[in-house]
A and B are shown apart, each in its own frame.
Chain A
C-alpha cells in the first residue's frame, strides 16, 4: 500500500537560508507524488507534482522537488527562504488511481 512519511513536524530557518522539507514514500507501483502548501486558515494549494516525467520538478513560489527512486524520496527545497513561505507543507502520494494519501505535515517557520 502507498504511504508517505514526512520527517520533522517543525522546521525553522532564517530568511534567506535554504529550505529542505523531507518526504519519503512507499509505493508498490511507480508513484505520482505531490507537495501541497497550507497557509493559516486556508485550504491546501498545490505547489508541485511528479507524474513520471522529469525527476526534477519545479513548482510555484521558487520551490522544487527531486524524485529519487533509489532513495524513495521526494524532498522539497527552496534556495532562499522568504517570510511569506511560513506555512504547513504536506507531501502526498496517489493511492488506487484517484485518492491521495497525505503525510502528517511539516510546519515551516521563517525567522528574520
Chain B
C-alpha cells in the first residue's frame, strides 16, 4: 500500500545544531508539504513543493529550508535549531492539479516530535 513516512519519530537536539527531518511518500504525488503543530495554533505551513526542483515558503518558514530532488522525498532542514522550534512536525502530500478536483485531499505522515534543548 502507498504511504507517507517520517523519520525520526522523535529527536532531541541542542540549540544551534543543524537538524534534518525526512519525509518519504510512495503515492507518487506531485505536492508535498511540511507543517508544524503547536498547542493553540493548529497546523501551520512551513514549506511546500509542487514538484521536483520546486519549493515555496509557507507562513512560518524562517529558520527552515527544504529541497526536492525527486518526487518521493522532501527533507526539512533546521539550519540552526532554536528552542522556539520545539514542536511536532508533519509532512503531507497530495496529487496536485494534474489530478481530479477532489485530489486537494492531503495525506499525512505520523509526525516527528522534535525537542530543542
Is B42 a contact partner of A98 (Cβ separation < 8 A)? Answer: no
Collect the chain B residues with CB atoms within 8 Å of residue A51's CB: 101-102, 104
Count A/B pairs, Cβ under 8 Å.
Answer: 57
Flag if A104 contacts B41 (CB, 8 Å). yes
Contact B108 A105 (CB under 8 A): no
List chain A residues, Cβ under 8 A from B40: 9, 104
Contact mask A92-105 → B, CB, 8 Å, 1/0?
00100111101111
Give CA–CA (A99, B35) in the complex, Å.
11
- Interface size class, chain B: 20 to 34
Binds A, one of B12-20, B76-84, B89-97: B89-97
Contact A98 to B101, CB < 8 A, known contacts A103-B42, A104-B41:
no
Whether B111 and A99, one on each chain, are in contact in the complex, defined by CB atoms closer than 8 angstroms, is: no
Give chain B's interface residues, CB within 8 Å of chain A. 31, 33, 35, 40-45, 48, 50, 58, 90, 92, 94, 96-97, 101-102, 104-111
Q: Return 23 A-B CB contacts under 8 Å, by A number.
A: A9-B40, A34-B104, A41-B111, A42-B111, A43-B90, A43-B108, A44-B92, A45-B108, A46-B106, A49-B102, A94-B104, A97-B97, A98-B48, A98-B94, A98-B96, A98-B104, A99-B33, A100-B45, A102-B35, A102-B44, A103-B42, A104-B41, A105-B42
